[in-house]
Amino acid sequence: MKTNNKLGTAVVTGASSGLGKVFAERLAKKGYDLKLVARREEKLVELAEQLTSKYGVTVTNLVADLGAPADLERVATNIQNDENITILINNAGTSTLAPSTQTSVAKQKEMIDVNITSLMLLSNAVLPGFIARNEGTLINIGSVLGAFTLPISSVYSGTKGFVVQYTRGLQEEVKGTNIKVQLVNPSITATEIWEVGGVPLSALDQAAIMTTEDCVDAALAGLAAGELATFPSVHNQELIDAYEDARIKLFTGSQTGKPAERYLQN
Ligand code: NAP
């Protein structure tokens, strides 16, 4: 059923803490109704009450473990059938930071289930509606580790590499429409993910840590500016342009059909 809110409803996954909580606050302030997704019901209830009383918007909580297939399907079906949805922010994510040989298979799979599978299936859930209505915004939260790997981030970086390439592909798919697909690649941001992942924020270079508010505001400024990929903490735009240029040149340079001379030994 169509609501009276002209801005529509924004879905924010991982809204119980960190970046998702700030995205939810910023969108409520703009006047969007919200659907908030996470496992910790009490955190969602508290946030929903705050946002409803402060901004007068309608907030619905979808308590779900996005790593559990039945929960994920329930959320996907809910948002697929909701014609009010104008924004999906695929923000929920998890990390275990340790060498892969010292990370349980369960933890490795959890990263793939939450960071990859849920992001993909929830994108699938909203995009047909966006295409039919020729409007909508999908924001996928990647990471600078989508293009870089530390010895403790093989699996996490792998999942974010998926987010980067998948989101780039979706951007190509919706080219020429009114639909916006934004990739956001934060660097270190002061959230629970570090403690949960096994690396306390206190162990990091304090000068390299961004606040959640700065990160989200930069992401939303990038969206408003029409950016396809936003790197909140990268000051030098030339670095971003050079990376983009190199990735296109490398692909183009691979379309030769012949082994490179350095591999012709005889
Ligand atoms: P966070 O504070 O730990 O928040 C993660 C959110 O994801 C929480 O709301 C959590 O909610 C939710 N979540 C985790 N597992 C879930 C599951 N199985 N089902 C449903 N929800 C789940 O971390 P954050 O830094 O804000 O993370 C947000 C996004 O930013 C992630 O995609 C992360 O990879 C990305 N990122 C973060 C940084 C950084 O330095 N913080 C840098 C680059 C990218 P519940 O626990 O209540 O379920």
State which of 13, 35, 36, 39 you would mutate to test the pocket of ligand 1, scoring each by most atoms of that ligand within 8 A of its C-beta. Answer: 39
Query: Is there a domain that residue 2 lies in?
Result: no
**Is 187 within 8 Å of 147 (Cβ atoms)?**
no
Domain tally, the chain: 1
Domain membership of residue 256 (yes or no) is: yes
CA dist., res. 121 & res. 151, Å (int) = 29
pLDDT at 60: 98
For 176, the domain range is 9-263
Residue 13 lies inside a defined structural domain of this protein: yes
pLDDT (0 to 100) of residue 155? 98
Q: How many angstroms separate the alpha carbon of residue 202 from the centre of ligand 1?
A: 19
Please tell me the distance from the alpha carbon of residue 103 to that of residue 80, in angstroms, as a whole number: 34
- 32 noted as active-site residue: no
Whether 4 is in a domain gets the answer no
List the residue whose alpha carbon is closest to atom 6 of ligand 1: 14
* Residue 62 forms part of a structural domain: yes
Instruction: Measure 22 CA to ligand 1 centroid, in angstroms.
Output: 12
Closest of 225, 238, 219 to residue 23, by C-alpha: 219
Residue 3: inside a domain: no
Looking at residue 265, its pLDDT comes to: 85
pLDDT score, position 1: 87
The sign of the dihedral angle between the CA atoms of 13, 15, 21, 25 is: positive
Q: Output the CA 153–ligand 1 centroid distance in Å.
A: 15
- pLDDT tens figures, 45-64: 999 999 999 999 999 999 99
Q: Which atom from ligand 1 is nearest to the alpha carbon of 44? A: 47
Helix 41-55, helix 18-30: angle, nearest 10:
20
Q: Which residues of the chain form beta strands (DSSP E)?
A: 9-13, 33-38, 59-63, 85-90, 137-141, 180-184, 229-230
Q: What is the CATH number of the domain that holds 63?
A: 3.40.50.720
Per residue in 118-176, pLDDT (tens digit) is 999 999 999 999 999 999 999 999 999 999 999 999 999 999 999 999 999 999 999 99
Residues with Cβ within 8 Å of 116's Cβ and at least 6 positions away in sequence, in order, are 159, 162, 163
pLDDT, residue 35, reads 98
Q: Among 11, 17, 213, 215, say which to mutate for ligand 1: greatest number of ligand atoms within 8 Å of CB.
A: 17
Q: Is residue 237 part of a domain?
A: yes
Does 117 reside within a domain? yes
Distance CA 14, CA 137 (A): 17
Tell me, in angstroms, the distance from the centre of ligand 1 to residue 17's CA.
7
Q: What residues in the chain have per-residue pLDDT under 50?
A: none
